[in-house]
Amino acid sequence: MDELARLLVELGALFAGLSVLGLLARSVGLSPIPFYLLAGLAFGDGGLVPLNAAEPFVDVGAEIGVVLLLLTLGLEFSAPELIGSLRRHSSSGLTDLLLNFPPGLVAGLLLGLPWPAAVALGGVTWISSSGIVARLLTDLDRLGNRETPAVLSVLVIEDIAMALFLPVLVVILAGGGPLQALVGVLLALGAVLLVLLAAHRGGHRVGRLLAHDDDELVLLRLMGLTLLVAGFAQGLGASAGVGAFLVGLAVPTSFADRARRLLSPLRDLFASIFFVAFGLSTDPAALWPVLPAAFALAAVTTGTKMGTGWFAAARDGVRRRGRLRAGAALVPRGEFSVVIAGLAVPLAPAIGPVAAAYVLVLAVVGPLLARFVEPVAERLRIVAPLPVPAGAGRVPPRR
């Protein structure tokens, strides 16, 4: 079988399998994310069926999936709303750092990693997965919830912080000095500010640029603009996801509904590829020895992320139930954590399996926690049960 035939067969089998898993997830009322991640484990190296021909396509598709997830999130809000939220949540970002970075740093030192690799593990435990959280908010129909702006503010602060953290981490891992780290931070900060300024001041022109009666042309223009901005943001040292998110913010509210409708099928397709790609990058055999450490670290940082979400939502005046939802939504780790661990692997190979097991545990546990945190909280009397509408559950009278 030639290479093209193998590619098509592997992709066909992958998409058919994902459709079955998605149907299974929805039949039991769960997000399909954990199922897609486990499918990636089954298909990847060391799994049941390796996808050798399809892997390059899956890698590129995964990056596009993250970009589209963040673009559609940005379409839910306006730039002034986000800037006001970021100002309000600067303390939430600091709380997030103080709660979630130290557990990884301490765990790295206890596991005997060199201190630069322990710093990298602190970054792994600090950053939530924008891709998984974006999909969760959509799957659970929470984009309009009161706590969602707080969740998004924390995610954007984290993504911007990553633009500063990654250059410093690269210098530390390479044994560089403070001056090199400072230069890296200044370049990254300039890139982030440039992208934010462009989104804030150029938003009124975006609607005119995208507008057309033909949906096909609108979709092509929107995809072209998003990928260009995401690519430039990535090249300047910021995150491609941040660039896509800012494009969504710049789209006028009057145009956002149409954009979401056109993007929805593409977003769902490439988002599923992203979650599969994460599983593909993990060798199941390497995970077993480090699972106890990964579970212990996951348990600690689940609590610290719940604290972050609780604090951030409380600043917006959200009640206890919404604070729990915000905390649970922030629990999953994903794409940035994998990138950070990958930077440290040449210095300390042991960080790879630990980070992969940790991220996989929370990528599965996080969506489940987000789905069930309210029923569990009600059983534990952390929150009061929702009132039953009048007449609900009554047996209708016989005619």
Q: Over the stretch 3-28, which tens digit does the pLDDT of each residue have?
A: 889 889 888 988 888 899 888 877 87
**DSSP-derived secondary structure for 280-327:** HT--HHHHGGGHHHHHHHHHHHHHHHHHHHHHHHHHTT--HHHHHHHH
| Residue 399 within any structural domain of the chain | no
| Residue 158 within any structural domain of the chain | yes
User: What are the backbone angles phi and psi of residue 211, rounded to the nearest 5°?
Assistant: -65, 135
Looking at every residue in the chain, the average pLDDT score rounds to 81
Task: Give dist(CA 225, CA 237) in Å, integer.
Answer: 18
Residue 393 has a pLDDT of 47
| Residue 66 within any structural domain of the chain | yes
pLDDT beyond 60 at 388:
no
Residue 114 has a pLDDT of 92
Q: Which residue has the higher pLDDT, 31 or 262?
A: 262
Residue 394 has a pLDDT of 46
Q: Over the stretch 36-90, which tens digit does the pLDDT of each residue have?
A: 877 887 776 656 677 778 888 888 888 898 888 778 877 876 666 666 666 778 8
Residue 228 and residue 51 in contact, taking contact as beta carbons nearer than 8 Å: no
**DSSP-derived secondary structure for 36-62:** HHHHHHHHSTTSSS--TTTHHHHHHHH
Question: Distances from the Cα of 130 to the Cαs of 175, 219, 379, in angstroms?
Answer: 30, 23, 30
Q: How many helices (H) and strands (E) does the chain have?
A: 18, 0
Task: Give dist(CA 99, CA 106) in Å, integer.
Answer: 12
Q: Over the stretch 174-220, which tens digit does the pLDDT of each residue have?
A: 776 667 667 766 766 676 566 566 666 666 677 778 878 888 998 99
CATH code of residue 144: 1.20.1530.20
Type of residue at 138: T
- Which of 191-195, 269-273, 292-296, 373-377 comes out lowest in average pLDDT? 191-195
| Residue 381 within any structural domain of the chain | no
Task: Look up residue 127 and give its two tokens.
Answer: 């950053």
Nearest to 147 by CA among 198, 89, 215, 228: 89
Mean local confidence (pLDDT), 269-287: 78
| Residue 219 within any structural domain of the chain | yes
Number of structural domains (the chain) is: 1
| Residue 378 within any structural domain of the chain | no
Domain that holds residue 129: 3-371
Nearest to 350 by CA among 150, 120, 96, 175: 120
Mean local confidence (pLDDT), 214-236: 86
**Within a 10 A sphere around the Cβ of 7, how many other Cβ atoms?**
18
Q: Does the global pTM surpass 0.85? A: no
Q: Over the stretch 303-314, which tens digit does the pLDDT of each residue have?
A: 999 999 999 999
Residue 230 has a pLDDT of 85
- Which of 44-53, 141-150, 218-227 comes out lowest in average pLDDT? 44-53
Among 57-71, 91-105, 230-244, 252-266, top mean pLDDT goes to 91-105
Nearest to 135 by CA among 57, 70, 90, 210: 70
What proportion of the chain, given as a percentage, has pLDDT over 90?
21
| Residue 379 within any structural domain of the chain | no
